[in-house]
Copies of this chain bind each other. A is one copy, B any other.
């Protein structure tokens, strides 16, 4: 057991967006040099989160949005009676913490599913700067709207799809986002457990597991633990749009 000090979890690093390779994912495009420089001012610091650690928790004061630089997160909400629901999985380049804006308190937990690093962007500075840089203003609005639209999709999934459809949609969505980040279109490593997938999809972990097995039997995917290889993307797409008898 090493004796690293506790504050390792909160280690901070000074950085800049202007030379960040994820810039096009989390920042607006088409800025001139002067604007870029001002954007740099937003990202005060970075913060490292160990696997299993939380970036923020339900009830904590909201001060900043976070841009994920590396790593993988889940966000989840909970009721008093112990029920909880994964509301999303977030990867590099995505913005996390939007839920905190309404009440100046976070309303969900953000947990790192692997060691991660985020850029801390104090929200008052975002607001300040987006009054001056219209591209940033527009970008902030679009990010929030995108999240709303994404959640509409999840509601559709949870409200009207069968287990196979849900898992197929989930895999296609994941691989598409990974592909946008330069990863394979057909191979992925799941960073979350079957139980977390199930929570997100409104299914029990056994059902997730069985559905994976079904896909394997049908030759649609290959699964070895958390390594998934999509053999037949079109089949997955057909499943998503199959509209079986259910519901």
Residues of B within 8 Å of A100, CB to CB, are 145
The answer to whether residues A156 and B83 also contact, given A149-B99, A151-B151 and a CB cut-off of 8 A, is: yes
- Considering the complex, which residues of chain A in the window 169-219 have a beta carbon less than 8 Å from any beta carbon of chain B? 199-202, 204
- Judge whether B241 and A79 touch: CB under 8 Å: yes
- Judge whether B158 and A159 touch: CB under 8 Å: yes
- Judge whether B140 and A99 touch: CB under 8 Å: no
Number of interface residues of A (CB under 8 A): 51
Task: Indicate the member of A101, A107, A134, A199 with the most B CB atoms within 10 Å.
Answer: A101
Q: Looking at the assembled complex, report how far the CB atom of A86 sits from the nearest CB atom of chain B, in whole angstroms.
A: 8
- Complex alpha-carbon distance, A118 and B133, angstroms: 31
Q: Does A154 contact B (CB under 8 A)?
A: yes
Residues of B within 8 Å of A137, CB to CB, are 127, 130-131
* Contact residue among B80, B134, B155 (Cβ-Cβ distance under 8 Å from A151): B155
Q: Looking at the assembled complex, report how far the CB atom of A61 sits from the nearest CB atom of chain B, in whole angstroms.
A: 15
Q: Looking at the assembled complex, report how far the CB atom of A28 sits from the nearest CB atom of chain B, in whole angstroms.
A: 13
Q: Does A11 contact B (CB under 8 A)?
A: no
- Judge whether A102 and B241 touch: CB under 8 Å: no
- Complex alpha-carbon distance, A108 and B80, angstroms: 32
Task: Indicate the member of A100, A151, A154, A201 with the most B CB atoms within 10 Å.
Answer: A151
Residue of B nearest to A108 (CB): B152
Q: Looking at the assembled complex, report how far the CB atom of A204 sits from the nearest CB atom of chain B, in whole angstroms.
A: 7
The interface of chain A, by Cβ under 8 A from chain B, is 77, 79-85, 87, 98-102, 107-108, 127, 130-132, 134, 137-138, 140-142, 144-149, 151-156, 158-161, 199-202, 204, 241-243, 247
What are 27 pairs between A and B in contact, CB < 8 Å?
A77-B152, A79-B243, A81-B241, A83-B160, A85-B155, A87-B155, A87-B156, A98-B144, A100-B145, A101-B142, A101-B144, A102-B145, A102-B146, A107-B152, A108-B152, A130-B131, A131-B131, A131-B132, A131-B137, A147-B148, A151-B154, A154-B155, A158-B158, A158-B202, A159-B201, A160-B202, A202-B247
